[in-house]
Amino acid sequence: MDARHGSFPEDNVKDRDSPTALRDIAFGSFAGMVSEVFEYPFDLAKVRLQSQVLNNTARFGGPLDCLTQTWKTEGVRGLYRGLPVPMFGSMAETAGHFVTYSQLQNLVRWSSARPASEDLSIAELGLAAGGAGFLTSFILTPIELVKCKMQVQMLSTPFDITAIPRKSFHPPLSLSSNPASFPLNPTRQHSMASLAAVRKTLPGPFTIVANILRTSGAGGLWLGHTGTMFRETGGTAAWFTSKEFFASFLLSRRSPDPAPSSNYLQPSRGNLTLAPWESALSGALAGALCVLALYPADTVKSAIQTAEELRPPTAFLPARQMKDHMIASHTFWETAKAVYRMQGWRGLYAGCGMTVARAIPSSGIVFVVYDGLSQRFG
């Protein structure tokens, strides 16, 4: 092997260019886990900002305000509240994306009777990537539903659980507790002991799943799936195809071949493979485009999935706003219209800037880890 370029003997190229499903799952899972630890506080802030788009009594002025308030009132544990669920979700998401993307590429070749070593066009890669996102969305929706509910728990009783005095706080017995039974304007007088007591009363992931199954049946676990499906299908297509494009561009600058492969997962670029900084840069740019592709769909999904927890007492709402909050428990399109009526495009892109800023290093980490493991052990 050429240590400088990471090339392999010709008789091993085919084996190394055909990643197995097991390897994709393992490498993708590890890459997702590493990136999730880095990005989780920003994801929590994003969901909390998205969850307030149908509420005129907004708790946070922006991403930094949300992170600052969370840090002051809930500490480090608050910033990482519910981490095990998204940790598992990120592993499933990244592994699902890579393995289905690879297998769908093989399906495209098989359908057109082409050899496994032949590279696909950007359009064909986009089709495979979109299909990978579509299939993965069915796994992600239940995971994200539980994650989003846990991320807003500390805000849901009724508006800011950490602002309720110890003596006046009565923890909810279930997720369906009536927020009208709690004071709307409590003074901020609580101790860390009372905060710890509050945390103990909040339902964990298994209790949340049990409550959903009891009240809505198995179908309730896929609440907000339309938003997840749109986001994952379009976003994953943008993610992989832009990564392919940027990786090919970087390699073309030092490749002796004037037309290097467009497919970094099956690189037929002579003796060249991606350097770590090239994986990081192309992955970072791809992450930004992935978020921007269909961000409003993610906002609507989060609004639907957290509407029950954050819906204010209807007695305090005007008729139009009451209708909008009731809509948020129903269809994707009606919820999108309600968000637009109340806050316009600004509401649909709530938290987008921070999410893009988060996705740039996070996506770079994913591809550095995945590409590095593939080149080292593939």
Does any domain span residue 373?
yes
The mean pLDDT of the chain is: 76
Domain count, the chain: 1
Give the confidence band of 178 by pLDDT, cuts at 50, 70, 90: very low
Distance of CA 271 to the CA centre of its chain: 35
Structure confidence at residue 6 (pLDDT): 34
Instruction: Please name which of 279, 290, 293, 291 lies closest in space to residue 364, comparing C-alpha atoms.
Output: 279
Does any domain span residue 348?
yes
Q: What is the DSSP letter of 80?
A: T
Rounded Cα distance between 146 and 310, Å, is 15
pLDDT (tens digit per residue) in 121-142: 899 999 999 999 999 999 999 9
Does any domain span residue 52?
yes
Contact (Cβ atoms closer than 8 angstroms) between residue 226 and residue 238: no
Does any domain span residue 119?
yes
Which residue range forms the structural domain that includes residue 315?
Answer: 18-157+202-212+219-230+293-377
pLDDT tops 60 at residue 57: no
Range list of β-strands (E), the chain: none
Side chain identity at 292, as an amino acid letter? Answer: L
Rounded Cα distance between 349 and 373, Å, is 35
Contact (Cβ atoms closer than 8 angstroms) between residue 179 and residue 157: yes
pLDDT tops 80 at residue 10: no
Inter-CA distances, 76 with 15, 40, 88, 253, Å: 45, 12, 20, 44
CATH number at 131 reads: 1.50.40.10
Does any domain span residue 169?
no
Does any domain span residue 299?
yes
Does any domain span residue 93?
yes
Q: Which of 15-24, 245-254, 319-328 has the lowest mean pLDDT?
A: 319-328
Long-range contacts of 70-77 (CB under 8 A, 24+ apart): 70/41, 70/44, 70/45, 73/154, 73/160, 73/162, 73/163, 73/195, 74/154, 74/162, 74/195, 77/199
Does any domain span residue 244?
no
Average pLDDT in the 167-185 region? 40
Give the confidence band of 181 by pLDDT, cuts at 50, 70, 90: very low
Question: CA gyration radius for the chain?
Answer: 23
